[in-house]
Amino acid sequence: MSGAEATATGRAAGRVDGTNGAPALSTRSLTMVFGGLRAVDGLDLDVPAGSIFGIMGPNGAGKTTVLNLVTGLLKPSAGTIRILGTEVAGARPDRIAALGVARTYQNVRLFPGLTVLETVVTGMHRHRRSTALGAVACLPSERRERRAAEERARELLRRVGVTARPEQLAETLAYGEQRRLEIARALASRPKLLVLDEPTAGMNPVESAAIGDLIRSLNGEGLTVLLIEHNIRLVLEYCTDAAVLDFGRLLVTGDPRTCVDDPRVREAYFGKESDADGQEPLGELRRDPGRP
Amino acid sequence: MDLFLQQLANGVALGAVYAMFAIGFGLVFATMGILNVSHGTYATWGAIAALALLERDVPFVGALVGGVLAAGAIGVVVDRLAFEPLRRRGVGMLGSIITSIGAWIILGDLAQEATDAQARSFPSGSFPSGFVEVGGVRLGYPQLLNILVAAALVVGMHLVLTRTRLGGAIRAVGYDAAAASLSGVNPRLIIALTALLAGGVAGLAGVLSALSTNNVSFTMGEGLLLKGFAAVVVGGFGDVRGAALGGLIIGVSEVLGAQYISNDFRDAITFGLLVLFLVAMPRGIIGEREVRRA
Amino acid sequence: MPAFLSSSYETTLEFAIVSALFALAVYVAVWAGLLSLTPIALGAVGGFTYAAVQTDHGIGLPAALALGAALGALVSLLLSTFLLRLATHYVAMATIAVVLIGRVVVLNLDVTGGAAGTGLVRRSTTGSLLLVLALVCWVLARLRRARLGLAVETVREDPVVAAALGIDVRRVQRAMFCLSGAIGGIAGVLEADLLQYIGPNTYYVDLGFVTLAAVVLGGAYHWLGPVVGALVFAFLPELLGEVMDSGENIANGVLLILIMIYLPRGLVDPARVLAWRSRLATWLPRRAAGERAITEAVVER
């Protein structure tokens, strides 16, 4: 299946999660001001339910800030954020997580001192039925619950492709495995919206494609995926929708191909035609996305 | 009214000692990010050193200087042994609190041995006894000394810290040691000097406190530590004037509280103020920039 | 008691057990990322309440322990309403202030005996002390990797990520703060019982500092750490005192400084243990099914 076909199938298969067409995420006039800097400036963004939505933009465009606003790590200076129908601007991160949002981070943030298995289990906190009293009293129902949780954690690890021993300390894993582990932890909370911050940063094309396939497979199960990606090839191959940010503002949104072809986007990344010095990497991409 | 003014004056004299101690304690916290639990023992050792000198017929001035130097030296030694190795390894604030507890245990036990766990006092006649009368208020010579020395110290320290290169270097190292060294400052030297200064000032507070209360005991530094801590919270950490103001407020409220509420309540007001400020105004009256970690 | 344990060592052991309980109380708060000396103040609550009910109502030790734990938890709950709002730097200082104020309260109340203090009758035995310690350790061991224990770990290490996983950070902190208070109350009751006399200086900042030091020395990353730390602090001077005439008390201070420089995570460090176990697993081929894959990988290389 070629990239374009897979994308179309994904798009068709993706929009099934029954939120009657309402976007999974929607922002209006979202603004974040840090001192004198407008990191996000009047952003109107719509992430369709069931999509794989790629956010692109040069460094400093405000992409991670948008993610932080959407997941509650930052309180916006102005604007609204609707997630799965609920207004959440300024809400606490755990309240937003309770709506079914989970995320990974630009720099992997795993908990020091926890093993691989324990890391994934922490993601399940919201859904677990275990009680402190039960744990202390060693009730059999507790032991069963715990074994079930650990079994599910192992499944998730298999799903995302973490091959390290579950008893290993999470921080001793190889970089690529750590990123997958972070995804497993996010998936553990059974999200409806998965937010990934540069999931393939530092990965080679093979690893990146594997992540892309994983994302597509998760999306096929009804999960909306919002990701920040610098790898434009990946976005073109796997995303059903995209948006390009620059200086905290939305440049263009819609079909990934359309976004990438937009001259304003090229200008944002590479400067005006006259600055380019004959370099045309983006142009090459437009002509032949399959080139390694 | 006379009683009020008298107690006010007594409070100021007491507050002067607290202020002196608070200046040193606050300086260490503000510039090195260390909450030094052993700082009180510097004061104790300053008093013990002065006592030893006085008992060998050294005149008071000499004993005072000796106490200050001894405490300063101890301050530097503790910094080299307990804090410097942590700085080199990048261990955070909790680590330095723990090693300061270690230093506190060591210095406290040694002080106990040195004084045989007995409360002593400076030999009578070491310092002129007598009073000064100003507008119906009576101040003993030691009290007057406290106030004068504290005032001189506050002014002097403030000028040194804000107007001299040394002071600038101290504040720069406190803010960002790496950046300071790029500007030609030697952080290790400056930190050693800061420790010397802070220790010496504690020793000064210790000697003068021993003189005013007529008491040298191995636990005397603890009371100063707690009051100094409260003074720094109330007055503000980073600024010498804040420490002084805090010390004055604590001293005055303590004496007036003891007089007008009850003697058992004197500490209640001090620590009540402490909690109040921690909750409502943690930066203190003369609010400071962010406290930096060592 | 075994015959070889001389009576002076038995006394040291008993005080070490109570120290260990205070250390565990402080550890529980540190476990959730809170540096707090309030267990000392709550020990005072437990101890003085015990003293009061002992004389007035003749209440036995187990009931007193339950009462101490309940009061400790309750007062902690009240304190947490304002303490948890403070920024991290200031929480520690505020808890020192709580202990300071505690002493003033004890000084000024009649029921606590004021400056003179109050006496008690000893009800515990070495065995019952060990039992209480074992129970507290049991509770912490059971919680450690249960749902709550994992949540506590995340709150300590990275509260932002924990919240993004749906964990209510404030609630977890409050729960641990109350548990810490309950254990502090228990420790206070037993301290009063052992000393048979308590006064305004019994539950004071010096106890707080030594307890905190024991926690960090022993290791603040596992419940066994504070127990080990308290035991070391109690027995090291005792053992040194056999061979030294004086100065054995400074040994604890020296040890503290050395440990923070060379073993900053403390004597008991689960990460260190796990790292060694991992290293062992790669180098020692074992017959267990799980190890076979690793063995093959090593042979292949």
Examine chains A and B and say if they touch (3+ CB pairs below 8 A). no
First CA to last CA distance, chain C: 56
Reply yes or no on whether the pLDDT at B44 is more than 70. Answer: yes
Contact in structure between B141 and B129 (CB atoms under 8 Å):
yes
Instruction: Note whether B291 contacts C257, CB cutoff 8 Å.
Output: no
Contact between residue A116 and residue A65 where contact means Cβ atoms under 8 Å apart: no
- Residue C165 predicted with pLDDT over 90: yes
For residue C246, list chain B residues with Cβ-Cβ distance below 8 A.
113
pLDDT tens, position by position, C62-83: 999 999 999 999 999 999 998 9
Q: Chain C partners of A109 at a C-beta cutoff of 8 Å?
A: 158, 161
Per-residue pLDDT at C290 exceeds 80: no
* Chain C residues 95-114 with CB within 8 Å of chain B: 96-98, 100-101, 103-105, 107-108, 114
Compute the nearest-CA separation of B222 from chain C (Å).
9
pLDDT at A103 over 80: yes
pLDDT band at C298 (very low <50, low <70, confident <90, very high): low
A216-260 tens-digit pLDDT: 999 999 999 999 998 889 999 999 999 999 989 999 999 999 998
Rounded Cα gap, residues A31 and A75, in angstroms? 10
How far apart, in Å, are the Cα atoms of A86 and each of A27, A100, B22?
11, 11, 52
pLDDT band at C249 (very low <50, low <70, confident <90, very high): confident
Report the mean per-residue pLDDT for chain B.
Answer: 88
Both structure tokens of C190: 């037993």
Query: ipTM exceeding 0.85?
Result: yes
| Contact residues on chain A for C150, CB-CB shorter than 8 A | 114, 118, 121-122, 125
Specify the pLDDT at position B185.
Answer: 82
Verify whether the Cβ–Cβ distance A94 to C169 is below 8 Å. Answer: yes
Tell me if A111 and C154 make a contact (CB, 8 A cut-off).
yes
Percentage of chain B with pLDDT > 70? Answer: 97
Contact C100 B226 (CB under 8 A): yes
d(CA A159, nearest CA chain C) in Å: 19
Section B5-32 average pLDDT: 91
Per-residue pLDDT band at C142 (split at 50, 70, 90)? very high
Neighbours of B (≥3 Cβ pairs closer than 8 A)? Answer: C
Residues of C with CB below 8 A from A94's CB?
163-169
Tell me what pLDDT residue B29 has: 86
Question: CB C94 to CB B89 under 8 A?
Answer: no
- Cβ distance C219 to C229 under 8 Å? yes
- The proportion of chain B whose per-residue pLDDT surpasses 90, expressed as a percent, equals 55
How far does C213 lie from chain A, in Å, by closest CA? Answer: 22
Buried b (16+ CB within 10 A) or exposed e, C110-139: eebbeeebbebeebbeeebbeebbeebbeb
Look at C249 and B99 and tell me if their CB atoms are within 8 Å: no
Write phi, then psi, for A39 (nearest 5 degrees). Answer: -70, -35
| pLDDT, tens digit (0-9, with 9 covering 90-100), for C173-187 | 999 999 999 999 999
Q: What is the mean pLDDT of residues A69-79?
A: 94
Between CA B232 and CA B26 the distance in angstroms is 6
Q: Chain B: nearest CA to C230, how far in angstroms?
A: 14
pLDDT at A96 over 70: yes
pLDDT confidence of residue C301: 47
pLDDT attached to residue B250: 93
For every residue of chain A, DSSP letters joined together read --HHHHHHHHHHHHTTSSSTT--SEEEEEEEEEETTEEEEEEEEEEE-TT-EEEEE--TTSSHHHHHHHHTTSS--SEEEEEETTEE-TT--HHHHHHTTEEE--SS--PPTT-BHHHHHHHHTGGG----HHHHHHT-HHHHHHHHHHHHHHHHHHHHHT--S-TTSBGGGS-HHHHHHHHHHHHHHT--SEEEEESTTTT--HHHHHHHHHHHHHHHHTT-EEEEE-S-HHHHHHH-SEEEEEETTEEEEEESHHHHHH-HHHHHHHH--GGGSTT--HHHHHHH-TT--
**Beta-carbon separation of B109 and C253 below 8 A:** yes
Pair A263, A257: CB distance under 8 Å:
no
- Which of B72-81, B130-139, B143-152 is predicted least confidently? B130-139
Q: Is B34 on the interface with C (CB under 8 A)?
A: no
Measured between beta carbons, the chain C residues lying within 8 angstroms of A193 are none
pLDDT at A289 (0 to 100): 55
A14 pLDDT higher than 60: no
Interface of B with C in 224-263 (CB under 8 A): 226, 229, 233, 262
Rounded distance, CA B65 to CA A93, Å? 58
pLDDT score of B287: 65
| Interchain proximity A169–C271, CB inside 8 Å | yes
The residue ranking higher by pLDDT, A273 or B125, is B125
Split at pLDDT 50, 70, 90, the class of A13 is: very low
pLDDT of residue A273: 59
Which of A111, A150, A169 to mutate to test binding with chain C, by most C CBs within 10 Å of its CB? A111
pLDDT digits (tens, 9 = 90+) for B74-127: 999 999 999 999 988 887 788 899 999 999 999 999 999 999 888 888 888 888
Q: Is B285 on the interface with C (CB under 8 A)?
A: no
Pair C21, C187: CB distance under 8 Å: yes
CB-nearest to C212 from B91, B101, B264 is: B101
Three-state SS at C114: helix
Chains A and C are touching, with contact defined as 3 or more CB–CB pairs separated by less than 8 Å: yes
pLDDT-derived band at C276 (thresholds 50, 70, 90) equals confident
Asked if B71 and B42 count as a contact pair (C-beta separation under 8 A), the reply is: yes
Q: How far B102 CA sits from the closest chain C CA (Å)? A: 4
A165 neighbourhood in chain C, CB within 8 Å: 281, 290, 294
The pLDDT assigned to B129 comes to 85
* Distance, CA of B29 to chain centre: 12
Chain C residues with CB-CB distance to B264 below 8 A = 104, 107-108, 114-115
Q: What is the mean pLDDT of residues A60-64?
A: 88
Residue C1, pLDDT score: 44
Q: Which of B86, B104, B110 lies at the smallest CB-CB distance from C209?
A: B104
Q: Which pair of structure tokens corresponds to residue A207?
A: 């690893």
Residue of C nearest to A186 (CA): C165
Pairing of strands C118-119, C197-198: antiparallel
DSSP C265: T
Name every chain C residue with its beta carbon within 8 A of the beta carbon of B36.
none
Helices vs strands, H then E, count in chain C: 13, 2
> Is the model's pLDDT at A16 over the cut of 50?
no
Mean predicted confidence (pLDDT) in B225-253: 90
- Interface contact C97-B278, CB threshold 8 A: yes
HSE at residue C166, side-chain half, CA atoms within 13 A, is: 24
Of A112, A126, A172, the CB nearest to C278: A172
Max avg pLDDT among A72-81, B26-35, C6-15? A72-81
Q: How confident is the model at residue A3 (pLDDT cuts 50, 70, 90)?
A: very low
In this prediction, what percent of chain C has a pLDDT beyond 90?
Answer: 69
